[in-house]
Amino acid sequence: HSNTFILTNICLCCPTTMNSCICLQYTEDCRAEMYPPNGPTFRGAVSWYTVDLDLPPSKRWTALITAKKTDVKMLSNLADAFVPSGRLIELVDITLPLMADTLPNPFSDEIKGIATASGIPLGEVVLFNIFYEVFTVCTSIVAEDDKGNLIHGRNLDFGLFMGWDVKNKSWIISEKLKPLVVNLDFKRNNQTVFKSTNFAGYVGMLTGIKPHMFTLTMNERFSLDGGYIGILEWILGKRDGMWMSFLTRSVLENANSYEEAKALLAQTKLLAPAYFILGGNRTGQGCIITRSRLLSIDILEIDLKLGRWYVLETNYDHWKEPLFLDDRRTPGMKCMNQTTQKNITLKTMYDVLSTKPVLNKLTTYTTLMQVSEGKLESYIRDCPNPCIVCTNHQSLSPQRCHLALFSRNT
């Protein structure tokens, strides 16, 4: 078929014994007719909950946490996955509870409220809240259709480097997080202020919409001056940067236009680098803000005159090549280009976000947002085997190939 393309054909070879090579091949057509979501890549729908911003911060999450108590209890096990050997027990039991007090409000009180409502130790709730800042890889797209409507889609991929379950052939954390995915409607005076897709127990925002004004997603940006340094500095008492997902939350809550959101996201000092992907409500309003901790390094905007009717961000600076092992940008752009501006809708964007490796083993949820209708919808995803096509020149079975590539000890 003419749509078929070979995305990558990678070989990893051991330099001393060139006969032990593992080759990886992704082969996938741009998907079509995936919407409404169904079939093996669709795990399930996401339920809605209300967060009442008129309640004191310590009480805002109680209803949600109570409703999701069984799933939220799994957060306790997540601490083991984050810190596999249990070596950092002291960190979780002693340092992190103290850290809750150093976080700005309302986040500090909200996190304490979640610990109280769930019965999970405060240190573990803090851990859950800060480690998203470090381990999220994603794909975000803002596109403008030929009528000037802005559409924003994202896959949230989470759990890299945190353990491959050999038996289940899945990333342990990604699996545990799926039951925690919720859609939230944040209200004040009984009116929606903003909506988001989130994980129960997490107070920052990775994906959200301010209806009729703007849409926002955040993707992690890996950098030497990365998350660990800023977080360490925070623990050691140097606290002049803002947590990235607290900034996105505060922008969704307080900014009242695309321009205001853009300025806040570009100018606020952060604890770690990040990409902010922002969509507005008028033609031309869509951008990727590439951030260092201190400042905005680059803003790439939709520019119809240049033929740029969408912007797409994974986890690499748009002016650089992506890591060869993790090129989700080329297939994502290829499928966007095939779709064309004329045919882009929430439905066709779901198709793009369902194409491997944009959809992959780490993909936890897909969210689609249409600002003009104030619409946010999200879906829990799966990427059933064979999610990556593993081939090799030796006698490695596909299972061994997966293991070799993805187990923590390799």
Ligand X SMILES: *[C@@H]1O[C@H](CO)[C@@H](O)[C@H](O)[C@H]1NC(C)=O
Nearer of residues 84 and 104 to ligand X, judged by Cβ? 84
Binding status of residue 80 toward ligand X by CB under 6 A: no
Q: Return the DSSP state at 205.
A: -
- Sequence-ordered list of residues with C-beta below 8 angstroms from that of 396, at least 6 positions apart, any chain: 22, 390, 404
Distance from C-alpha of 202 to C-alpha of 69, rounded to nearest angstrom: 14
Task: Considering the candidates 138, 287, 383, 401, report the single residue annotated as catalytic.
Answer: 138
Distance from C-alpha of 203 to C-alpha of 130, rounded to nearest angstrom: 10
Out of 150, 213, 251, 388, which residue is the one contacting ligand X (CB under 6 A)? 213
Nearest approach in angstroms of CB 340 to ligand X is 4
Contacts with ligand X in 343-362 (CB under 6 A)? 343
Binding status of residue 337 toward ligand X by CB under 6 A: yes
Distance from C-alpha of 61 to C-alpha of 235, rounded to nearest angstrom: 25
Binding status of residue 407 toward ligand X by CB under 6 A: no
Nearer of residues 235 and 333 to ligand X, judged by Cβ? 333
Query: Among positive and negative, which fits the CA dihedral 47, 53, 57, 62?
Result: negative
Calculate helix-pair angle for 227-236, 122-135, nearest 10 degrees.
Answer: 150
Out of 52, 93, 165, 233, which residue is the one contacting ligand X (CB under 6 A)? 165
Binding status of residue 330 toward ligand X by CB under 6 A: yes
Nearer of residues 333 and 346 to ligand X, judged by Cβ? 333
Tokens linked to 232: 């360490």
Binding status of residue 168 toward ligand X by CB under 6 A: yes
Out of 190, 240, 320, 408, which residue is the one contacting ligand X (CB under 6 A)? 190
Pairing of strands 48-52, 181-188: parallel
Contact predicate 42/381, CB 8 Å: yes
Choose one: 42-50, 82-90, 167-175, 352-360; the region binding ligand X (CB under 6 A): 167-175
Out of 175, 185, 298, 326, which residue is the one contacting ligand X (CB under 6 A)? 175
Out of 47, 254, 340, 394, which residue is the one contacting ligand X (CB under 6 A)? 340
Nearest approach in angstroms of CB 99 to ligand X is 28
Q: Count residues contacting ligand X (CB under 6 A)?
A: 18
Binding status of residue 73 toward ligand X by CB under 6 A: no
Nearest approach in angstroms of CB 214 to ligand X is 8
Choose one: 139-147, 177-185, 327-335, 381-389; the region binding ligand X (CB under 6 A): 327-335
Would residue 401 show up in a list of annotated catalytic residues for this protein?
no
Tokens linked to 316: 């690499």
Cis peptide before 357 (omega within 30 of 0): yes
- Sequence-ordered list of residues with C-beta below 8 angstroms from that of 277, at least 6 positions apart, any chain: 140, 141, 142, 152, 154, 216, 217, 218, 219, 287, 288, 289, 311, 313
Tokens linked to 325: 């092992």
Contact predicate 242/218, CB 8 Å: no
Nearest approach in angstroms of CB 107 to ligand X is 25
Distance from C-alpha of 210 to C-alpha of 376, rounded to nearest angstrom: 10
Nearer of residues 20 and 338 to ligand X, judged by Cβ? 338
Contact predicate 68/180, CB 8 Å: yes
* Site track for ligand X across 251-290, x = CB under 6 A: -----xx-----------------------x---------
Binding status of residue 333 toward ligand X by CB under 6 A: yes
Nearest approach in angstroms of CB 304 to ligand X is 12
CA 301 to chain centre: 21
CA 57 to chain centre: 25
How many CA within 13 A on the CB side of residue 379? Answer: 25
Out of 169, 239, 269, 334, which residue is the one contacting ligand X (CB under 6 A)? 334
User: Exposed, middle or buried by CB within 10 Å (0-12, 13-18, 19+), for 389?
Assistant: middle
Nearest approach in angstroms of CB 339 to ligand X is 6
Nearer of residues 212 and 238 to ligand X, judged by Cβ? 212
Query: Among positive and negative, which fits the CA dihedral 244, 246, 99, 115?
Result: negative
Query: What residues act catalytically?
Result: 138
| Residue numbers at the binding site for ligand X (CB under 6 A) | 165, 167-168, 172, 175, 190, 212-213, 256-257, 281, 307, 330, 333-334, 337, 340, 343
